Chains A and B, each alone.
Chain A
Amino acid sequence: MSVLLRVRDLKTYFVTEHGKGTARAVDEVSFDLYPGETLGIVGESGCGKTVTSLSILRLVPEPPGHILPGSLVEFDGRNLLALSAPELRAVRGNQIAMIFQEPMTSLNPVFTVGDQIAEAAIIHQHLSRRAARARAIEMLRLVGIPDPDERVDHYPHQLSGGMRQRVMIAMALICHPKVLIADEPTTALDVTIQAQILELLDRLQQELGMAVLLITHDLGVVAGHADRVVVMYAGRVVETATTEALFEHPTHPYTEGLLAAVPRIDARRARLHAIPGQVPAATAWPPGCRFHPRCPYAWDKCVAQEPPLLETGEGNAAGHTARCWLVTEPERRAPKR
């Protein structure tokens, strides 16, 4: 199948205040998104997953942010990073749309939700106000908001958190985008509302046939909703795999550690496995493998030389890669803990 969105060697750096150096938030990130699939990007705070998603649509504030030359974000045969501002605007919200974590702050409080949903249809599809309003009502119905004819005239403060996230989704999907970037779409929501929103996204993806880039810190959300997963750590992709392969054969010690750290609802563990230490600062990534100071298996080679993404051959799944020397020296995965 042909690639829909190709990201290659994406580097987004931030110049920090007081000359503390350059934060290499996203550092040579590459992945492909295929039509109709859900690709999960998972990692903890500071790993670069949100900056990656913002860089795709060039939403990173410049300055202090800066996407380096040599980065490629290819969509429909064009490098989005090289488009002029008007060309990029024709893609944003039209062919690639985005929903954010905070439905409270992502909506404009002084416009009705109907106006905000209709805006994209007026701009991109040149609908009349009346037709756009009818489309907005249709979208509200599609995302499961009761009484859409009334709700269309409501302001964001009149809606609950879950309803606001539904409005955000309606807004993102009104132009039937080919790619939806969902950046922590349920993190601010309660678990029963999260279940509603994730079910809605699954249904809409099937009905509209779009590809979803699902950015999340929650391995449970990834397990239930992504086809393939990219794990990020310290600005780098450290592992890519199909969802099943990732959970069955986690290869990078960071992935392994994360999975062991999650408290499980299906079984009580005597003790959680904690990854020692914390994510280093983006201005001073460690030399060699960026995970080596926290890694239970690290040896001198890991300090000296950063591994590339290596094919694991694990579980015979093609495309399972890990940025770890253990792939070449598996006998070193001896239990040290």
Chain B
Amino acid sequence: MTAPGSLLVEVRDLVKHYPGERSWFGLGAPRAPVRAVDGVSFTIASGRTLGLVGESGSGKTTVGRTMLRLQEPTSGKVLFEGNDVFGLDAARLRALRRKMQIVFQDPYSSLNPRMTVEETLREPLEIHRLNGAVSALLDEVGLDAAFAKRYPHELSGGQRQRVGIARALSVEPRFIVCDEPVSALDVSVQAQVLNLLADLQAKRRLTYLFIAHDLAVVRHIADDVAVMYLGKIVEHAPAAEIYAQPRHPYTTALLSAVPEPNPRASKQRIVLTGDMPSPAHPPPGCPFHPRCPHPKKSERCRTEPPPLRPITSGHLAACHYAAEPM
């Protein structure tokens, strides 16, 4: 067992490219590959939560799925308790999967509609030859034991997501990838599920990678935050710091775009122009430069990709002008 605070997960230069499809029904020239994840590195210490934030197409979900080898990587390394996840054979991978689980975004499509809640929760126990009580699992996620006999269509979105969490917990993992676990839920139910995830983390000493597009939700649950844009991490810092003093202009714009439930909030809103470019054709230089509102934006941004580098201790940003934030 790893001591709390020590390194549990390490991702090194992870790359996932999807080959471009051939045009003309497979006969023409192949299109440019989609660079979904383009060199991502981070670590998560035991018992901590890293929030991975980005908009659609930023590559955040691909990072989570590739780490668990639900998708094969193009290159890079993932170490879990020092084991190279990509180097394992099928049997050892299965053993490792017991320790690494995932909770999916859509509680409607991630449960088998033909299986009762009990069957859904029993399956991972049988695969891993574990003894566990379904009723105890249900109790832990705040569902009555009577739910065991029900089918997913009889449950609300929040209840389904609780079943999804119970399924992940059933094999007693150490690490859970939470892939937008509350974005399909209404705000009152979202609060219930976020509180549940926080309680479970404290009780079971879990480590989370919490993937989300909602910066307010991430602020609530994460210890550290990494912001992705076009397959790359553009900023990575302790949560308190990134919200107080964002260093990358994309993070600044993202924070300012969140609608606050306060009519008196007179914040300076930075409205970015344009859309995120296609990850098949990322712009040269800094991937954010075509939309960047930084007043110092220069020729250098158009030609030279800024590396992710420490600006202050523990605060990384990939911007040539991160020392002079907006």
Q: Does B213 contact A (CB under 8 A)?
A: yes
Q: Does A336 contact B (CB under 8 A)?
A: no
Q: When the two chains form their complex, are residues B187 and A269 in contact, meaning their CB atoms are under 8 A apart? A: no
Q: A160-B275, A163-B275, A190-B56 are in contact. Are A264 and B186 (CB under 8 A)?
A: no
Smallest Cβ-Cβ distance to B217: which chain A residue: A263
- Chain B residues with CB under 8 Å of A223's CB are 259-263, 265
The interface bits of chain B over 185-196 (1 if a CB of A lies within 8 angstroms of the residue's CB, else 0) are 011111110110
The interface bits of chain B over 3-27 (1 if a CB of A lies within 8 angstroms of the residue's CB, else 0) are 0000000000000000000000000
Smallest Cβ-Cβ distance to B186: which chain A residue: A44
Q: Does A273 contact B (CB under 8 A)?
A: yes
Q: When the two chains form their complex, are residues B216 and A264 in contact, meaning their CB atoms are under 8 A apart? A: yes
Could you tell me the distance in whole angstroms from the C-beta of A267 to the nearest C-beta in chain B? 9
Pick the contact of B220: A218, A219, A263 (CB < 8 A): A263
The segment out of B78-86, B250-258, B310-318 that lies at the interface is B250-258
Q: When the two chains form their complex, are residues B195 and A271 in contact, meaning their CB atoms are under 8 A apart? A: yes
Q: When the two chains form their complex, are residues B219 and A263 in contact, meaning their CB atoms are under 8 A apart? A: yes
Q: Does B203 contact A (CB under 8 A)?
A: no
Chain A interface, number of residues (Cβ within 8 angstroms): 45
Pick the contact of B55: A191, A198, A217 (CB < 8 A): A191
The interface bits of chain B over 170-207 (1 if a CB of A lies within 8 angstroms of the residue's CB, else 0) are 00000000000000001111111011001000000000
Q: A223-B262, A247-B262, A263-B216 are in contact. Are A192 and B187 (CB under 8 A)?
A: no
Q: Does A162 contact B (CB under 8 A)?
A: yes
List residues 240-277 of chain B with CB under 8 A from any CB of chain A: 240, 243, 253-265, 269, 271-273, 275-276
Q: When the two chains form their complex, are residues A162 and B186 in contact, meaning their CB atoms are under 8 A apart? A: no
Docked complex Cα distance between A12 and B240 (Å): 47
Docked complex Cα distance between A196 and B274 (Å): 9
Could you tell me the distance in whole angstroms from the C-beta of B123 to the nearest C-beta in chain A? 26
- Chain A residues with CB under 8 Å of B257's CB are 191-192, 194-195
Chain B interface, number of residues (Cβ within 8 angstroms): 45
Q: Does A35 contact B (CB under 8 A)?
A: no
Q: A217-B187, A278-B156 are in contact. Are A190 and B271 (CB under 8 A)?
A: no
The interface bits of chain B over 136-173 (1 if a CB of A lies within 8 angstroms of the residue's CB, else 0) are 00000000000000000000111100000000000000
Docked complex Cα distance between A127 and B5 (Å): 70
- Chain B residues with CB under 8 Å of A243's CB are 263
Q: A195-B271, A263-B220 are in contact. Are A247 and B261 (CB under 8 A)?
A: yes
Q: When the two chains form their complex, are residues B255 and A257 in contact, meaning their CB atoms are under 8 A apart? A: no
- Chain B residues with CB under 8 Å of A219's CB are 187, 261
- Chain A residues with CB under 8 Å of B192's CB are 274-276
Q: Does A268 contact B (CB under 8 A)?
A: yes
The interface bits of chain A over 60-81 (1 if a CB of B lies within 8 angstroms of the residue's CB, else 0) are 0000000000000000000000
List residues 116-168 of chain A with CB under 8 A from any CB of chain B: 160-163
Q: Does A199 contact B (CB under 8 A)?
A: yes
Q: Does A224 contact B (CB under 8 A)?
A: yes
Q: When the two chains form their complex, are residues B253 and A192 in contact, meaning their CB atoms are under 8 A apart? A: yes
Q: Does B215 contact A (CB under 8 A)?
A: yes
The interface bits of chain A over 257-295 (1 if a CB of B lies within 8 angstroms of the residue's CB, else 0) are 111011111101101111110110000000000000000
Q: Can you list 30 A-B pairs, Cβ within 8 angstroms, ordered by A?
A: A44-B188, A45-B186, A163-B275, A190-B55, A190-B56, A192-B253, A193-B55, A195-B256, A195-B271, A196-B272, A196-B273, A199-B269, A199-B271, A222-B261, A223-B261, A243-B263, A247-B261, A247-B263, A261-B187, A261-B191, A262-B216, A263-B217, A263-B220, A264-B261, A265-B215, A265-B219, A265-B243, A274-B188, A274-B191, A278-B156
